[in-house]
Structure 1
Amino acid sequence: MAEHVQRRMRMYGNITNPRKEGVLGLSALASIIGVVVAILVFVTMPLGIWVQSFVVIVGAATMIGISWDGRNGRKKFEEVLGRRHFKKAEGKGFTNYAAGPTSQLPGGDFPPVGILARTELVGTTPAGSRTEKAMIWNPSNRTGTVIFSVQSPGMGLLDQESIDLMVDQWGIFQREAGVSSSLVQVAATTQATRDPGNRLPDAVRVTREQSQVADTPAFAREAMDEIVADLNQGVPKIDQWVAATFTARPNREAGTGPRSREDLAEDISTLLPGMLAQLKVACGGTVSVLGMDDVVDQVHTAYNPAVAPAVETARLAGEGTGLTWGEVGPTNAKLTPGWWEHAGYFSKSWQMYQPPAANFRETGLAGLLSAHGVFEQKRVTLLFRPMSPGGSQKAVQDQVMNAQFGNSQKGKKPSQIKKVALEKAEYSEREQAEGAAMVRFGLVVTATVDDPTKFARVEAILRDQAVSGIQLRLRDCEYSDDAAFAFGLGIGSVPKDFTRLSNTLRESV
């Protein structure tokens, strides 16, 4: 007699948005300001009612100013600061960019722009390999980034056990990343590019030329041409890569001192074989570390979408583009409040500001990662900041204490949202005690089009895709689409190094 075994469908979740609780429904920072105002009122009693009134008015105005909600999860003062910084940069001419021999750049080249302007491309040789791979060195924050190209077969031909194994291995990869004292960020990027229509024909043509077979039957050649014509109908190109960013700064907790660029490259080379092995299991396909030419061509086509067919043809022919890191950037660029224009194309980015509250399947992001004909390019980048075991433990304990404080305020019945927050915090504490690690993460979506009037439709499509299966909330990166474009490239830019507000202050607001 056959026994029917029903597998339980796996669900994922327990994602929280860090926030410090205050009293009486106020934020933690507003509560602290209220306490300070109360103390100052008491201290200034000898100075008279007018001084006390002034202290109360200033304190109340400050509390209202930092508590006033804006659009899409932002505070009103954040919107004002963003607009003010943009106007200041626009007045100084910093929102316009020109490269090349006629520009004011010292070398007259076409380097990466903005927060990637000072980056350098250097080589590193992984242990056990004879081929030099690329490392993007950023002297501003002393980080080095290596990029793994990922070729995954997808989930269409995999059974559920294999999919669960891949998800488990990705979790193990994130946990092990937190153990490394020098690894500061892992970025996973999926890019969907509109097929220009010559990629498949060029691949067949190059294969025929390299085979050097002159007596191919006419019927076989015609049949192949017909198959190519049938298949070459709006098939998007999907690329995926994972970037690991390491720091050369000293780490007092791990007992490591400052390192040079060469020392960091050597340290990274010893870690690459183990990371490759873990990523291969996590993706179920092939993984390789990108070389110098691969990184240059990838970044160049992101900045200059019009050259993508020519770059693809040159790579298929085996000749390569011959470009250098100083030639990957756009010839010109301009930042506006609504988008970033570069090399005749327009890019706009969105960021996740509210994580999914409900549980979801491993296919939750499938809709957001899928291609669409309106995009010239679409990149979805997940930025992970693995935490050390000690950092994970402290973060979990703070989360539990904060949730307990929000549920135990006298004279106020806790809401269901606060009760669920406490349950999530306690569950995270239990998971952390069993060996799990906390990981901070964010999500950036960048859409590139050839006409800015398409952005209204693009935003509608993205919002529909974001809530399909996972319930993500996205907001546009107004006044900062140039920086968001760099973060979305997934090549080593770490957002926390460029924020004006610290994590502690942001959580308190």
Structure 2
Amino acid sequence: MVVPMAVDSRMSEAPRTYGNWRRPTSPGLLGLGTAGTGLMFIGLFVVLVVLMASTLLAALATAAGFGALLLLLVTKDSHGRNVLTRASSRLAWLSARSRGTHLYRSGPIGRTEWGTYQLPGIAAGTRLSEHRDSYGRPFALLYTPATRSYSVVIGTDPDGAALVDQEQLDGWVAEWGHWLANLSDEPGIEAAAVTIETAPDSGSRLRREVSLNTDEGAPEFSRAVLDEVVARYPAGSSTVKAFVSLTFAAAARAGAKPRKPEDMARELASRIPGLTGSLQATGAGAAHPMSAQELCETVRIAYDPAAAALIDEAHAQGELPEMLWPDVGPSAAEATWESYRHDSARSVTWSMTGAPRGNVQSGVLARLLAPHREIARKRVTLLYRPIDSARAAALVEADLRSAEFRASASRKPAARDSLGVRAAAATASEEASGAGLVNFGLLVTATVTDPSKEADARAAVDNLSATARLKLRPVYGSQDSAFAAALPLGLILSKHVSVPAELRDKL
């Protein structure tokens, strides 16, 4: 998805709305993209050659073969996936299952080196180190060798929208749009992600706070009230955490050697204070870079939710549960076609296949981000790929020409093609006036500790996606990879796929 980072200009009295996000299209005939149309002409040429060199029956058989291939590309489901893409996903899953790569065992009796609890899947090769920024704050630097990128995770404390007037909310949204647009000017940045995680509250922090501030000479009635609050308040309460991960290229420029963690940390140490400071104007609250210990705890709890109570209890007693990066993964995990089982929980991850149609208000994702009683732990991750200004201009102009080609390919263009031309023209106009451009996607992970509640969690996410006007689809056959991508690790999914996304879009 591509969206221009510009605020919709409306009258101050009317509710401010946002929209005009569209998927870049590729020009082609009969619903095909550029590559698909080229394949069709190649097929016609081959049929003519076979007809001249052989019999009519051979030419008809060749035409039937190419026609069946084109039919696989044209026939799409409600999520825009053609038959060939779905078939390749199923074959890849069957191949992975036959090799046993959907199973994972770690620890002393596992298959990992040195008996550690290494992260599985696409996060297995990540390496963690800790450094200090120019303010003296420790920050975790995560290196992913497969994509040659470094990631920094920023922890935030969002202010929330309760008792906040609409003018302030509009200001936050505008500042967030400016923050995203400015990312394209950051040297070496490749991706950004925002993760909102909701989980049940163990009550350890409240119990510690009350015990430390209770006067020994307080009346018995007051002490009894406090004890009852400590005992009953955590039941049904939840915590909300927000993370912003930024991913930078290891190489300073194309063709250069990847930088070492020390060199990258030295460069990012002076840039992190500016990034965290600008986040506060977006309503993210106090932003600080996460240390290695905090990141280890977050990932450990994600793979084993049962460890959350133990970690909270240790912090409540003033102890620090020291963790190392090679020991934060699950001891056992199993990926199925539609779910992911890991240690003490089972998770299902959905990906966004369609952004909300039409215009929406700023609170369109409020119910999706809020805690839900049917889901033990929920993680919503917005994935962003900033587009630099030089490439954005060429991209929007190409998208406008593609939309105009589709509308002019028929004597009576469909209403959707006409609307596409207007939307592409509006995007090009906004980009020309200075708006930024960014690719974005969304992942939703629902985790339950009781396998019998998985169906309820699925139904809850389906209902929440309807309220957010999103079109979500379970990540069939890649639940383990999607689970890791939804964590605040700065992983770039498009760099882990076999077929580039650019080629799939042109089919």
Q: In the alignment, what sits opposite 1:272? A: 272
CA contact (8 A) 1:27 1:67 kept: no
- Quickly say closer, same or farther: Cα 1:426–1:443, change in 2 above 3 A: same
Q: In the alignment, what sits opposite 1:234? A: 236
Distance 2:439 2:478 in 1: 22
Distance 1:491 1:118 in 2: 12
* Per-residue CA distance 1:280-324 (angstroms, 9 max, x = gap): 111252111111111111110000001111111112333121111
Tell me, what secondary structure is at the counterpart of 1:395? helix
Distance 1:212 1:459 in 2: 43
CA contact (8 A) 2:32 2:73 kept: no
Which aligned pairs between 1:152-167 and structure 2 lie closer than 5 A? 152-167=158-173
Distance 2:267 2:158 in 1: 28
- Quickly say closer, same or farther: Cα 1:327–1:491, change in 2 above 3 A: same
Q: In the alignment, what sits opposite 1:296? A: 296
Q: In the alignment, what sits opposite 2:72? A: 65
* Per-residue CA distance 1:404-452 (angstroms, 9 max, x = gap): 1011114x31111111111111111111011111110110000111233
Tell me, what secondary structure is at the counterpart of 1:426? helix
CA contact (8 A) 2:112 2:118 kept: no
Q: In the alignment, what sits opposite 1:77? A: 84
Q: In the alignment, what sits opposite 1:459? A: 458
Tell me, what secondary structure is at the counterpart of 1:361? coil
1:489 is aligned to 2:487: yes
Structure 1 letter corresponding to 2:186: S
1:498 is aligned to 2:501: no
- Quickly say closer, same or farther: Cα 1:20–1:209, change in 2 above 3 A: same
Deviation of residue 257 (structure 1)?
5.8
Distance 2:59 2:66 in 1: 11
Q: In the alignment, what sits opposite 2:124? A: 117
Deviation of residue 151 (structure 1)?
0.6
Distance 1:204 1:37 in 2: 69
CA contact (8 A) 2:207 2:230 kept: no
Q: In the alignment, what sits opposite 1:380? A: 380
Counting matched residue pairs gives: 496
- Quickly say closer, same or farther: Cα 1:26–1:284, change in 2 above 3 A: closer
CA contact (8 A) 2:128 2:292 kept: yes
Which aligned pairs between 1:17-56 and structure 2 lie closer than 5 A? 17-50=23-56, 51-56=58-63
Q: In the alignment, what sits opposite 1:206? A: 208
1:390 is aligned to 2:390: yes
- Quickly say closer, same or farther: Cα 1:423–1:467, change in 2 above 3 A: same
Distance 2:499 2:140 in 1: 32
Aligned mate of 1:131, from 131, 137, 149 = 137
Distance 1:216 1:9 in 2: 51
Which aligned pairs between 1:143-158 and structure 2 lie closer than 5 A? 143-158=149-164
Deviation of residue 256 (structure 1)?
6.7
- Quickly say closer, same or farther: Cα 1:26–1:6, change in 2 above 3 A: closer
Q: In the alignment, what sits opposite 2:412? A: 413
Aligned mate of 1:246, from 209, 225, 248 = 248
Deviation of residue 229 (structure 1)?
4.3
Any stretches of 5+ residues in structure 2 without a counterpart? 1-10
Deviation of residue 398 (structure 1)?
1.1
Normalised TM-score (structure 2): 0.93
Aligned mate of 1:175, from 175, 181, 198 = 181
Q: In the alignment, what sits opposite 1:222? A: 224
CA contact (8 A) 1:18 1:399 kept: yes
CA contact (8 A) 2:138 2:290 kept: no
Any stretches of 5+ residues in structure 1 without a counterpart? none
Structure 2 letter corresponding to 1:88: S
Tell me, what secondary structure is at the counterpart of 1:149? strand
Percent identical residues: 27
Distance 2:178 2:257 in 1: 27
1:12 is aligned to 2:15: no
Distance 1:45 1:165 in 2: 66
Tell me, what secondary structure is at the counterpart of 1:360? coil
Deviation of residue 211 (structure 1)?
5.2
Normalised TM-score (structure 1): 0.92
Deviation of residue 263 (structure 1)?
1.8
Tell me, what secondary structure is at the counterpart of 1:148? strand
Distance 1:84 1:42 in 2: 33
Deviation of residue 158 (structure 1)?
1.4
CA contact (8 A) 1:194 1:373 kept: no
Which aligned pairs between 1:307-386 and structure 2 lie closer than 5 A? 307-386=307-386
CA contact (8 A) 1:133 1:291 kept: yes
Distance 2:214 2:163 in 1: 35
- Quickly say closer, same or farther: Cα 1:345–1:280, change in 2 above 3 A: same
Distance 2:461 2:406 in 1: 34
CA contact (8 A) 2:148 2:258 kept: no
Tell me, what secondary structure is at the counterpart of 1:458? helix
